Structure 1
Amino acid sequence: MGTPLGDFIRAKRDSIQPESRGLPDRGRRRSPGLRRLDLATWAGISVEYLTRIEQGRDRNPSPAVVNALAEALRLSPSERNHLRYLAKITGAECSVHIRPEPPSRHVRPAVLRTLRLLEPGVAIVTNRLGDVLAHTGGYQLVTSGTGLLDTARPNLNRYLFTDPRARAFFADWDDIADEQAFDLWQAPSLENLEWLTAELAPIAGPDFTRRLKRHVLPRRGVLRLNHPSGHQLRLLRETLELPAEAQQLVVFLPADDRTAEAIDRLRRQSHGRLRSIS
């Protein structure tokens, strides 16, 4: 059975074309990308050891080995941070844990007051598992008719991967799906991630599982939404971390005048109110 660390190293190795590293074309191979031999040589470790890491049979590589692999793979600063994070949580899997309760859905009163100050803007509070805990009336406006907030406990990941309407609503559905899958690795603990995937994976199907294991660092560009009313919205996202609660306050800002005008038209049609889900 693989590990998050092994999956990431293997995915990065498979994504590197040998020719880009000055290696000769060795003809057709069963697997794309770099051979284990090449990566192991550059990292200064044995092929056997690299194989154990990738297959999850060695879950505690030293910091020196992790850094050597980062150098050999020529990872970006963001990718290096992600590699070290995966090494940390992969090692933590070996420990004995008491299965935790699902993460708290409580939103601090001060955060709710902040949301009220943001009205009539577009903003939400979420946790690392994608639960929508509170939102402004503006967020309700831009998601009206999409089904995202129709359930008692709306969850972005469940909606994205299981509701067919999500593919029409998110103009760049593939990119958003990669973003959400990647962000699950930043869940408060590995156990909470497993708690969600045990519930979500069976209904979301193999596409969700594949994206989760790819570890694609998101680009986080402009969020493009196709509102059911016919408006095409382009939104910028600003995120405020709430580390004590492992939550995020996300504010969505119009990326252009056309979007601002469209939101104004939606607002004139309906007066939004703050809604908190506890």
Structure 2
Amino acid sequence: MGTPLGDFIRAKRDSVQPESLGLPDRGRRRSPGLRRLDLATRAGVSVEYLTRIEQGRDRNPSVPILNALADALSLDPTERSHMRYLAKITGGECPTQTRPAPPRRDVRPSVLETLRLLEPGIAVVTNRLGDILARTSGFESVTGGTGLLDAETDFPNLTRYVFTDPRAREFFADWDDIADQQAFDLWLGPSVESSEWLTAELASVAGPDFTGRLNRHVVPQRGVLRLKHPAGQELRLLRETLDLSSDDQQVVVFLPADEQTVLAVERLRRQPLGRLRAIS
């Protein structure tokens, strides 16, 4: 049985073209990317040891080994950080026999007050799994009518919306990029167990669009967020994320990226609005 770390290394190895690392073309092969022998040689480890890591038979490679593999794969800083995180949770994994508990959903009063100070801006508080815990009226303006806040439960969830609601593919102009981001962010959840709480629900209804992205470990590039509002407004937003590490939550502030978006947001704000809601 594989591990998150082994899956990541194997996925990165399959995605690297040998010529990009100055290696000779060895002709046709059954699987794409870098040969295990080439990666092992570049990292200074044996093929047998690399195989054990990829297959999950070695769950605790040393820091020097991780650094050597990162160098051999030419990982960027974000990918290196993700690999270290996967090594940490892989080494500490243990089977669970009972259903994991859901993540924390209460928001501290001081965080809610911070959100109120951002009114009428566009801001939201989420946990690592995508639960929308509180939002400004500005956030309701740009998401109203999209189905995101129409969840039957008390906890609208961005990850669930992206993968299970057809309207999300219309709302997010770059849906594939957003899907990659939401799947990747599950690995940043407060614990393996909390991530399993959501993935157990999503996997059966979201299908390969979700499970394939989750297991690829693609580190997303977070550029300008492009939205196509059903009211006909097209928005381009920049995102600033304020990490609340002690709460396993984050405040995300959305800023118009151009004058056209400023005007579009103003038009949406003139529509009937709700008020700040905290879900706990």
TM score, norm. by length of structure 2: 0.96
1:208-227 C-alpha deviation (Å, 9 max, x unpaired): 11111111111110000000
> Does the 8 A contact of 2:148 with 2:156 survive in 1?
yes
Q: Look up the SS of the partner of 1:244 in the other structure.
A: helix
- Pairwise CA distance, 1:145: 0.7
> Does the 8 A contact of 1:100 with 1:192 survive in 2?
yes
- Pairwise CA distance, 1:100: 4.6
Aligned to 1:39: 39
Q: Which of 208, 220, 223 is the equivalent residue of 1:206?
A: 208
Aligned to 2:169: 167
* Cα distance between partner residues in 2 of 1:191 and 1:61: 22
The two structures, once aligned, show a CA RMSD in angstroms of 1.5
Moved more, 58-67 or 241-250: 58-67
1:183-229 C-alpha deviation (Å, 9 max, x unpaired): 11110011111111111111110121111111111111000000000
* Cα distance between partner residues in 1 of 2:266 and 2:22: 55
- Pairwise CA distance, 1:121: 0.8
* Cα distance between partner residues in 2 of 1:175 and 1:247: 22
* Cα distance between partner residues in 2 of 1:99 and 1:231: 42
* Cα distance between partner residues in 2 of 1:126 and 1:22: 43
> Does the 8 A contact of 1:138 with 1:272 survive in 2?
no
Aligned to 1:117: 117
Give the 4+ runs in structure 1 shifted more than 6 A.
95-99
Aligned to 1:145: 145
Aligned to 1:15: 15
* Cα distance between partner residues in 1 of 2:123 and 2:20: 43
Aligned to 2:192: 190
Pair 1:243 & 2:245 matched = yes
Q: Look up the SS of the partner of 1:269 in the other structure.
A: coil
- Pairwise CA distance, 1:23: 2.2
Give the total of aligned pairs: 278
Structure 1: where are the runs of 5+ without partners?
Answer: none
Pairs within 5 Å for 1:1-278: 1-94=1-94, 100-151=100-151, 152-278=154-280
TM score, norm. by length of structure 1: 0.96
Q: Look up the SS of the partner of 1:133 in the other structure.
A: strand
AA aligned to 2:203 is A
